[in-house]
Structures are given as structure tokens and as C-alpha cells.
A and B are shown apart, each in its own frame.
Chain A
């Protein structure tokens, strides 16, 4: 069965410091991968998605970047964090054989980032 892992689960960083959140998927190949951000415990905003190694699409221009160095690895980064980067970051994957219907997203447990 497919599983998705995100880490770290919680992170407290000072303004101006770098960021790296990692996401890996097991049990599937060539997944579509996504990074969402959730502010204030409510709406989900798509930040980046990737359909393959090295292929990144950005939905919202901002202080963050994403990379996909391996088929099942998706990394969210920042060189200098801002206060407004605080939030709950969710990685997700989808695939044609997700078992729940074509292209249904399955989410990781999330990474809570607090920028002070």
C-alpha cells in the first residue's frame, strides 16, 4: 500500500533563516506531488506541484521554492524565512492507481512551521 511521510512535524525558525521540509512517498511510482499551505487552520492554498523529477510548477509566487530530486521525494525550501511563512504545510500525492479513484489526492500529516 502507498504511504506518504512528511518531516519535520513541527519546526520553529527565526526570521531570515533557511527552511527545508521533506516529503517522500512509498509504494507507488511516478506520482504527482503537491505542496499546500494552510494558514490559521482553514483554507488550503496550492503552492507547488510536480509531475516528474525536476518538473516543478508554481501556483503562487513567493518566498518559497520546491524541488524534486527523486521520483518519490518532494522538498519545500526557503533561503530566508519571513514571518508570513508561518503555517501548516501539507504534502500530497496523486496517481492514476490511487485506489480511491483517478487522481484523488492523499495528504501527509503536515509540518507546522512557526517563524519568530
Chain B
């Protein structure tokens, strides 16, 4: 099946720092999604990317769909304590809209 690698696994940063995480896949895909999961909650969609090379921003978040269609990154600028959580990349891995998720990047922000 498809391999989806997400890195880093965890990050411990100081408030105000910028954050970058990325995902790579073993196959070409047409859609990349980035979700954030707050502690004890379900994941919430942050950004959806539908076109190779697409760069999309959502407030302090910026995500890009790689030109090769095998990778994507998510940047968070000027991190704040509420950015804490687990960030997942996701791809459509099968029929009926099933998503394959990366293993997540756990972000901790020190005030």
C-alpha cells in the first residue's frame, strides 16, 4: 500500500518561533490535506491542497503541494501556545474517500 512519511515526530519550541513539518508519499496523489488535533478532540481540517505547486495560507499557517505531487509541507509562523496539538497530513488512499494519515507531528509550545 501507499507509504506516507511525516516528520518530525515531535517538536518542542519556544513561543514566537516558526515551525515547519512535511510529508512525503511513495506515490503521486492529487490532494493533500493537513489536519490539527487538539488534545482529547477530533482532528480539524486546516488546509486542503488540490494542485501541484499550490501554496495556500490560512492565517499564520502556510502549506504547499509539492511539484512532484509526492510531498507537502506545513509552516506555522510566530507560534503561540494554542498551536499545541498533533498535526496530520492526509491523502486519499482508496475508494470512497478513505484518507490515509501520516503518523502525526506532535507540537509543544513553551510560553
Interface set of A (CB-CB < 8 Å, partner B):
6, 32, 34, 41-44, 46, 49, 51, 57, 59, 90, 92, 94, 100-101, 103-110, 112
Contact = CB atoms under 8 A, between A and B. Distances in A.
Contacts of B104: 42-43
B104 to A, nearest CB: 5
A48 to B, nearest CB: 10
20 contacts: A6-B42, A32-B96, A41-B106, A42-B103, A46-B99, A49-B96, A59-B98, A90-B42, A90-B43, A100-B48, A101-B31, A103-B97, A104-B48, A105-B90, A105-B97, A106-B45, A107-B43, A107-B44, A110-B40, A110-B41
B96 A51 contact: yes
Interface string B24-47: 000000010100000011111100
B98 A49 contact: yes
Contacts of B65: none
B86 interface: yes
Top 9 nearest A-B pairs (CB, nearest first) are A107-B42, A103-B97, A44-B101, A43-B103, A94-B97, A101-B48, A110-B42, A107-B43, A109-B42
A90 B98 CA distance: 14
Contacts of A103: 92, 97
B50 interface: yes
Nearest to B41: A109
A43 B99 CA distance: 12
Contacts of A6: 42
A10 to B, nearest CB: 10
B65 to A, nearest CB: 13
A34 B98 contact: yes
A103 B33 CA distance: 11
A46 B42 contact: no
